[in-house]
Amino acid sequence: MKNSFFFFLRRPKNWLLLLVAVSLLHLAAIAWIGGYVRWPGLRSSSDSSDNLISASLSTAETAKTSQPPQPVKPREMKAESAPEETAKKAPPDTGSVQADSNAVSMPAPANAISTPGKSVSIETTKASPSSAAKGGPETKGQDRVKYAVSAPPSARLNYRIQARRQAQNLYGSGFIDWNNDGGNFSVQGESNLLLLTVLSFQSKGTINPDYGISPQIYQEKRFRKSATNTHFHPERNRISFSASTKSYPRMGGEQDRASVVWQLAGIGRRNPAMFKPGVQFPIFVAGTRDAETWNFQVIGSEDISTEMGKVKAWHLIRKPSSESRDQTLEIWLAPNKEWYPVKLRHTDKNGDSLEMSLTEITSVPAR
């Protein structure tokens, strides 16, 4: 058999056939990633045209986004353009909320704000009537919740990645570099499947212990997609997008897709007693094209198997609405590991998923 193979390679024409076969296999691997691997979770419902963590490049998704927009029912337009009416009907305040000239009363998320024996700093602000009157995205998710945090120390986190679609598995690796110098932060990461980078991202900003992590710019590059920038303008108090004309008021408490994980970790380090089954943390998250409030619910404390052994971690989940095409995002934060995310999972509505499992933590000096 071995001699037959070498005899096969003696002919130049056979070398060409072998080269073509290898090229076709490589193209098939790229098509598998492009058409079958969705990197879900960190996108909002209107990001379907990008179809992170999301890289769906299938023709079926493209066809969906090319359909003409459906007319909006009058009832839906009324709900969209009247945030003040919704606020008036809200139940009376049951939590301790700091007040300022822009503050409004907001009921505490179930079990989240009222914590026995702990003084928890949580502030809610609302957009001014002038900005809300513009309509459109300005009237959605205007309430912001600010949390006191203790951001984790700098570290490099390495992950094993497993993507699954229709009983097919694909494996890879990734990393997240978290940097905290006490007043500023940066987080950048990369995920690879079949030696191809399907996602790279970076977020930078400041840290205020009383008001949480405050991003200033978020950059994201997906497989076969152009890079996008999300800006949190401190001088203009606006959130804007390079991939969209939408904008939102910046009032504090907003996060991007990368920083939101570290905001939750910072809340746990500052007020670990807040983490109880059933607790919800509403956080306003900006994606690559728009923004909305994500509600993270604490499921419970679980033992997670990692390459470093078993780790006890708090399991949080963010489920989109039934009308949304968003994916479910799950995060496991380990108190005994500085509240670092030891596992993340993103699941499509059809069951396709992508999971990141921590393999190594390396402490690094702040820079």
User: Which amino acid would we find at residue 50?
Assistant: D
Q: Are residues 204 and 268 in the same domain?
A: yes
Q: Are residues 56 and 23 in the same domain?
A: no
Q: Where in 136-268 does DSSP place strands (E)?
A: 144-147, 155-165, 168-180, 184-193, 196-208, 212-222, 228-233, 238-241, 244-249, 255-256
Q: Are residues 82 and 16 in the same domain?
A: no
Q: Give the Cα separation of 27 and 194 in Å (integer).
A: 11
Q: Are residues 25 and 110 in the same domain?
A: no
Q: Give the Cα separation of 155 and 170 in Å (integer).
A: 27
By the 8 A CB rule, do 221 and 206 touch?
Answer: no
Element of type H or E holding 299: strand 291-306
| Cβ atoms < 10 Å from Cβ of 87 | 14
Q: Are residues 44 and 7 in the same domain?
A: no
Q: Are residues 27 and 89 in the same domain?
A: no
Exposure string for 50-63, b = 16+ CB within 10 A, e = fewer? bbbbbbbbeeebee
Q: Are residues 90 and 175 in the same domain?
A: yes
Q: Are residues 19 and 31 in the same domain?
A: yes
Q: Are residues 172 and 30 in the same domain?
A: no
Q: Is 40 helix (H, G, I), strand (E, B) or coil?
A: coil
Counting every residue written for the chain, the total comes to 367
User: Which amino acid would we find at residue 161?
Assistant: I
Number of domains in the chain: 2
Q: Are residues 24 and 82 in the same domain?
A: no
Q: Give the Cα separation of 229 and 231 in Å (integer).
A: 6
Output the tens digit of pLDDT for each of the chain's 367 residues.
545 555 555 666 665 665 655 555 455 555 555 544 444 344 444 444 343 333 333 333 334 444 544 544 444 433 333 434 434 444 444 333 333 333 333 334 433 433 333 434 566 666 544 333 333 333 344 578 999 999 999 999 999 999 988 888 999 999 999 999 999 999 999 999 988 999 999 999 999 998 899 999 999 999 999 999 999 999 899 999 999 999 999 999 999 999 999 999 999 999 999 999 999 999 999 999 999 999 999 999 999 999 999 999 999 999 887 777 778 999 999 999 999 999 999 998 888 999 999 999 999 988 7
Q: Give the Cα separation of 151 and 164 in Å (integer).
A: 32
Range of the domain at 1: 1-36
Q: Are residues 227 and 254 in the same domain?
A: yes
Q: Which residues contact 334 (CB under 8 A, 6 or more apart)?
A: 304, 311, 312, 313, 314, 340, 341, 342
What is the structure's pLDDT at 44? 43
Q: Give the Cα separation of 278 and 115 in Å (integer).
A: 13
Task: Kindly write down the DSSP assignment for every residue of 232-274, as one continuous string.
Answer: EETTTTEEEETTEEEEEE--S--EETTHHHHHHHHHHHH-GGG
Q: Give the Cα separation of 333 and 265 in Å (integer).
A: 7
Q: Give the Cα separation of 348 and 328 in Å (integer).
A: 7
What is the structure's pLDDT at 366? 82
C-alpha distances out from residue 304 to 158, 196, 263, 311, Å: 16, 28, 21, 5
What is the structure's pLDDT at 349? 85
What is Dmax (Cα atoms) for the chain? Answer: 85
Q: Are residues 23 and 149 in the same domain?
A: no
